[in-house]
Homo-oligomer: A and B are copies of this chain.
């Protein structure tokens, strides 16, 4: 389909939420805070009271972040049957449990009941849309829109289509999530675990190995992150962090001088060969990201953030 045959993101008024547990309910709270009407469905018998409690618990935070005009926590209806949640909406977010057969049949059901011109996003954290869309009659509008917990606070959404997804639907989903204030990463190919979960999973698996072999305790793993590199990561990701580790020479200096450490047994994961192509791609990417910020600017930004973050967290702990 052409991009324009989907409703314009700015014209969306209602969103369907299929599956309203922790993730789907978090999405519902977020959509409500952005001023949308939410039509929801979940087969669980206590889904509605749970959803109301989740929205109530999230609302003070969402209010603090700033509500859209007309936003109301009451602007949600929980339907007895699936079709009620996917008709008369301009987008559907599916957040069912991570069970492939369930996702396949549910996406086929959503596809069968929803207006054919709207895009359907799946919150899956692990399956590819190629795997999940196999039973759907019109898989072209089925897209992964992978959030992070809690979806009403963490900005990141990873967007990627499957083999049969319409590239315009992927583009539409990226625009839509961006329109509602999310930080969108649109991937041009399916990679198991997408991007953030691959990175997170590498760290998690190394941590499990260390605990398994008695090299570290649970508490040491967590403190190694919260009191160490974790303090830098909300402000500068792993690449820009190492750009600064290179001093004035930035990532180029870092890779040229510390590249051999990639052969060190510092983790169970072997590194790729540091070819000149890889080296140049990493350096160029960091230079692009730094933009017109000098190394001194980046250091000032990092230091101010580290101080403020520590202060924020100790304030929250003292208040508790």
Which A residues fall within an 8 A CB radius of B? 22, 58, 61, 64-65, 98, 126, 148-150, 153-156, 158, 183, 185, 187, 189, 191-193, 195-240, 242, 244-245, 247, 258, 261-262, 264-272, 274-275, 278, 281-282, 284-286, 288-289, 293, 297, 299-301, 303-310, 312-313, 315-317, 320
Contacts and interface: CB of A to CB of B under 8 A. Distances in A.
A42 B11 CA distance: 64
26 contacts: A58-B303, A149-B244, A153-B231, A155-B227, A156-B224, A185-B223, A189-B214, A189-B215, A195-B224, A196-B224, A196-B229, A199-B267, A202-B205, A202-B268, A203-B238, A205-B267, A208-B262, A211-B281, A211-B282, A217-B285, A219-B288, A222-B238, A222-B289, A225-B233, A230-B230, A305-B313
Which 9 residue pairs of A and B lie closest in terms of their CB atoms, listed nearest first?
A218-B285, A222-B237, A193-B266, A230-B233, A156-B228, A196-B224, A202-B206, A183-B227, A308-B312
Contacts of A64: 307
B237 A153 contact: no
A234 B150 CA distance: 16
Contacts of A154: 227-228, 231-232, 306
Interface centre among A224, A226, A272, A303 (most CB of B within 10 A): A224
Nearest to A226: B237
Contacts of A315: 308
Contacts of A313: 234-235, 305
A271 B242 CA distance: 26
A269 B268 contact: yes
Nearest to A190: B215
Interface centre among A187, A192, A222 (most CB of B within 10 A): A222
A148 B304 contact: no
Contact of A237 (B205, B230, B308): B230
Given A228-B196, A309-B312, A267 B304 contact: no
A272 to B, nearest CB: 4
A239 B230 CA distance: 13
A156 to B, nearest CB: 4
